[in-house]
């Protein structure tokens, strides 16, 4: 009977081999399938006398042809590729939205240039309506471009968040599948079976998971594979943990075990890694940079605009923008400083300037809009109030107007004049101060005698006692003739009269009549409204009346000094922009985006080539070659036929023996 047993083992081995070959061929196009091979060993041998007889063949098992190290590397590189591809695709969309690669006349950079060009044109025609309208039109176009890009980036960030949530849902589905397959594989293999096809299904799910998020795997006994992400165990044997995406306390997108709210940003790889990188860094940086540029333009232009007036002249009423709070600590860009308000009595022409101190951190020194309104209302000719929307309104009484011009007052106030002669000369002043900070100029007389007759001079010093200029007001000077004081932009004139050595007078000169920034922050006489790209607009008052574009700083209100200052913002280095000009900053933003895109594309191409090479190596180890399988099919087909013939031969021999008996 041993002969029959040998035949049966051979038939069984051949049949199983044919089944395996058939399974290989059937799955030759199945993604994630690993070729299987039958392992045969000689069966137990028996010894009869001096002869050792074979016992046929045993099927030791079925080997799944797999290189574990290669598979792990494929998972890792595949995960990196998916992240880079996600980043590249999204950044390409952003670059197209920036619009700098189409024509020279399109995109934000072009609208910024047109706005500043219009301001430059306005400097030559400060009181002409056509140029005022052009400035407003180009400003609206620029603000619209900022808003469009800002809104796009906000919508993109929201879409990234939604895609991340959907991807996390897919992760949870896959981890559940992996856990269930782990359970089935373990059950089968603990019972001595082999679950190679199930292992392939499970590994395919792990591969799909790696495309969604960077994972770490750990193989355990009985075919079980544990999976973790960023230190979070996702699959432990037959147990799966659900994830959720959300924002941590810093507003950064992160993941956590569902319901735990213990967020981690340690997420790399896969589509989710790409989405997190885009939301937390790449798109966020672009959005922040765009907001920084918009904010810089808004603040720089408004800082100058609030101090000037347009061809409409001074104001009878101004209302600021609504604010969430009237507390100055809640309003950005307000610091300790002062507001200087000029009030004109239109009947007499008398002009006064009043200082209102501001300190957001000092309750005793105007730390709210209401406090400022109270102080403004104490000025003759003015009333001010703050409504429920925290809007500051400043209104002039009948017969009065007001503004915030830095123009020097036409004469020193009486308290600042110290003359001891018998006939005091009149002192008049004019001009726009060109210094960089507010100052007080002191004029001290040298010599004694009559203006324009005797030997008289005036030494001009600043508040730090630095001598700015020495001017002649004695012999050779025509009384009443304006004299330019060095490079200050200020002129003074003295009428006839006599002076004594040591006589003096002083003038307050202003580079900035809102050193606190509160007027700009509150929206009083600003050109732009909004705090960033997404809400940047031209102020409604300017749109309604382009004559309100504040071109002048001088007392006569016919100069172009403020238009020049605003036009020069284009070429001014801005500290908040890293010392770059507005144009340079935007070009750097676009260039950085282009460089990021180029690097992502290069990396994507390299990763695709690398993965192709790894896939080829995988195919050599685990792939099904139809020709090889066909050759194996012939071998085991012949083995089966030969074993069948062997069995027939044994059977015939036994019958012959039985017949003889």
pLDDT digits (tens, 9 = 90+) for 227-272: 999 889 999 999 999 999 988 888 889 998 988 888 888 889 999 9
- Identify the pLDDT of residue 51: 62
Whether the predicted pLDDT of 188 surpasses 70: yes
**Residue 147 Cα distances to 114, 133, 142, 366, 406, angstroms:** 17, 21, 9, 34, 33
- Identify the pLDDT of residue 295: 94
Angle at 396 between CA 393 and CA 401, to 5 degrees: 120
pLDDT digits (tens, 9 = 90+) for 475-529: 999 999 999 999 999 999 999 999 999 999 999 999 999 999 999 999 999 999 9
Whether the predicted pLDDT of 165 surpasses 60: yes
Whether the predicted pLDDT of 398 surpasses 50: yes
Mean pLDDT for the stretch of residues 329-340: 91
- Identify the pLDDT of residue 136: 97
What predicted TM-score, i.e. pTM, was given to this entire model? 0.85
Which helix (DSSP H) or strand (DSSP E) does residue 401 occupy? strand 400-403
Q: What is the distance of C-alpha 219 from the center of its chain? A: 40
Count Cβ atoms below 10 Å from residue 262 Cβ, excluding itself.
11
Mean pLDDT for the stretch of residues 213-220: 93
Mean pLDDT for the stretch of residues 215-220: 92
**Residue 501 Cα distances to 428, 449, 470, 592, angstroms:** 20, 9, 14, 65
- Identify the pLDDT of residue 104: 54
Whether the predicted pLDDT of 365 surpasses 80: no
- Identify the pLDDT of residue 103: 47
Q: How much of the chain, in percent, has pLDDT values that exceed 70?
A: 97
Residue 548: band (very low, low, confident or very high) from pLDDT cuts 50, 70, 90: very high
Strand ranges inside 327-366, DSSP E: 337-345, 351-358
Whether the predicted pLDDT of 98 surpasses 90: no
Residue 101: band (very low, low, confident or very high) from pLDDT cuts 50, 70, 90: very low
- Identify the pLDDT of residue 607: 94
Mean pLDDT for the stretch of residues 217-234: 92
pLDDT digits (tens, 9 = 90+) for 29-88: 988 899 999 999 888 776 666 666 777 888 888 889 989 899 899 999 999 999 999 999
364 contacts 336 by C-beta, under 8 angstroms? no
Mean pLDDT for the stretch of residues 111-118: 94
Mean pLDDT for the stretch of residues 292-315: 95
Whether the predicted pLDDT of 610 surpasses 60: yes
pLDDT digits (tens, 9 = 90+) for 282-296: 999 999 999 999 999
Strand-by-strand arrangement of the 504-509 sheet: 417-418, 504-509, 439-446, 457-461, 467-472
Whether the predicted pLDDT of 383 surpasses 90: yes
The number of CA neighbours under 13 Å toward the Cβ of 191 is 7
pLDDT digits (tens, 9 = 90+) for 426-463: 999 999 999 999 999 999 999 999 999 999 999 999 99
Alpha helices in 515-625 (DSSP H): 518-522, 540-544, 561-567, 582-622
- Identify the pLDDT of residue 317: 96
Q: Of 555-564, 617-626, 635-644, which one has max mean pLDDT? A: 555-564
- Identify the pLDDT of residue 92: 92
CA distance 280 to 125: 47
Mean pLDDT for the stretch of residues 617-644: 90
- Identify the pLDDT of residue 49: 64
Q: What backbone phi and psi angles, to 5 degrees, belong to 439? A: -155, 175
The two structure tokens encoding residue 91? 């950044």
Residue 102: band (very low, low, confident or very high) from pLDDT cuts 50, 70, 90: very low
Greatest Cα-to-Cα distance within the chain, rounded to the nearest angstrom: 168
- Identify the pLDDT of residue 262: 84
The two structure tokens encoding residue 363? 């309750």
**Residue 605 Cα distances to 66, 70, 624, angstroms:** 27, 20, 27
Residue 345: band (very low, low, confident or very high) from pLDDT cuts 50, 70, 90: very high
- Identify the pLDDT of residue 147: 94
- Identify the pLDDT of residue 259: 86
Mean pLDDT for the stretch of residues 611-634: 91
pLDDT digits (tens, 9 = 90+) for 586-605: 989 988 998 999 999 999 99
Q: What backbone phi and psi angles, to 5 degrees, belong to 516? A: -85, -20
Whether the predicted pLDDT of 226 surpasses 50: yes
């Amino acid at each position: 009977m041993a002969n029959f047993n040998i035949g049966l083992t051979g038939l069984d081995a051949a049949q199983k081999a044919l089944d395996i070959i058939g399974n290989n061929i059937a799955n030759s196009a199945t993604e994630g399938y690993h070729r299987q091979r039958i392992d045969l060993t000689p069966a137990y041998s028996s010894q009869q006398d001096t002869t050792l007889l074979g016992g046929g063949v045993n099927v030791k098992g079925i080997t799944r042809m797999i290189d574990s190290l290669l598979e792990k590397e494929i998972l890792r590189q595949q995960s990196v590729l998916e992240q880079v591809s996600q980043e590249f695709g999204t950044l390409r969309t952003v670059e197209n939205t920036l619009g700098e690669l189409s024509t020279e006349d399109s995109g934000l950079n072009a609208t910024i240039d047109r706005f500043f060009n219009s301001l430059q044109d306005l400097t030559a025609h400060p009181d002409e309506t056509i140029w005022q309208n052009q400035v407003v039109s180009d400003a609206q176009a620029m603000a619209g471009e900022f808003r469009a890009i800002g809104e796009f980036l906000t919508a993109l960030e929201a879409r990234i968040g939604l895609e991340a949530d959907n991807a996390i849902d897919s992760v949870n589905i896959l981890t559940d599948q992996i856990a269930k397959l782990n359970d089935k594989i373990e059950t089968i293999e603990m019972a001595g079976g082999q679950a190679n096809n199930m292992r392939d299904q499970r590994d395919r799910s792990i591969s799909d998971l790696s495309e969604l998020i960077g994972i770490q795997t750990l193989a355990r006994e009985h075919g079980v594979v544990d999976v973790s992400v960023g230190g979070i165990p996702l699959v432990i044997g037959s147990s799966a943990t659900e994830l959720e995406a959300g924002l941590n306390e810093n507003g950064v997108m992160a993941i956590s075990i569902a319901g735990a709210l213990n967020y981690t940003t340690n997420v790399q790889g896969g589509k989710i890694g790409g989405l997190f990188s885009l939301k937390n860094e790449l798109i966020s940086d672009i959005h922040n940079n765009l907001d920084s540029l918009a904010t810089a333009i808004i603040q720089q232009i408004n800082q100058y605009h609030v101090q000037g007036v347009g061809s409409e002249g001074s104001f009878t009423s101004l209302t600021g923008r609504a604010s969430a709070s009237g507390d100055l600590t809640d309003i950005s860009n307000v610091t300790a400083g002062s507001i200087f308000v000029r009030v004109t009595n239109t009947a007499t022409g008398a002009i006064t300037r009043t200082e209102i101190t501001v300190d957001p951190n000092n309750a005793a020194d105007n730390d709210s809009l209401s406090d400022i309104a109270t102080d403004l209302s104490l000025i003759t000719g003015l009333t001010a109030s703050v409504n429920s929307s925290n809007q500051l309104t400043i209104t002039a009484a009948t017969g009065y107007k007001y503004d915030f011009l830095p123009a020097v007052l036409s004469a020193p106030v009486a308290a600042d004049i110290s003359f001891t002669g018998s006939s005091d000369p009149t002192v008049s002043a004019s001009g726009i101060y060109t210094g960089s900070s507010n100052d007080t100029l002191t004029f001290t007389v040298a010599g004694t005698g009559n203006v324009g007759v005797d030997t008289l001079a005036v030494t001009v010093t600043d508040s730090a006692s630095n001598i700015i200029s020495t001017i002649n007001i004695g012999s050779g000077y025509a009384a009443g003739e304006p004299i330019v004081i060095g490079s200050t932009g200020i002129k003074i004139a003295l009428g006839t009269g006599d002076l004594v050595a040591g006589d003096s007078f002083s003038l307050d000169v202003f580079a900035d009549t809102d050193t606190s920034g509160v007027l700009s922050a509150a929206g009083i006489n600003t050109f732009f409204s909004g705090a960033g790209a997404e809400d940047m607009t031209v102020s409604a008052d300017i749109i309604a009346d382009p004559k309100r574009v504040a071109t002048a700083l001088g007392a006569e209100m016919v100069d172009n000094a403020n238009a020049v200052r605003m036009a020069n913002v284009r070429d001014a280095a801005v500290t908040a922009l890293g010392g770059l000009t507005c144009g340079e900053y935007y070009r750097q933003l676009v260039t950085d985006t282009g460089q990021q895109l180029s690097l992502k594309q290069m990396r994507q191409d390299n990763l695709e080539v690398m993965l192709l090479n790894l896939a080829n190596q995988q195919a050599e180890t685990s792939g099904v070659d139809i020709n090889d399988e066909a050759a194996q099919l012939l071998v085991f087909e012949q083995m089966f036929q030969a074993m069948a013939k062997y069995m027939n031969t044994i059977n015939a021999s036994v019958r012959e023996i039985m017949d003889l008996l």
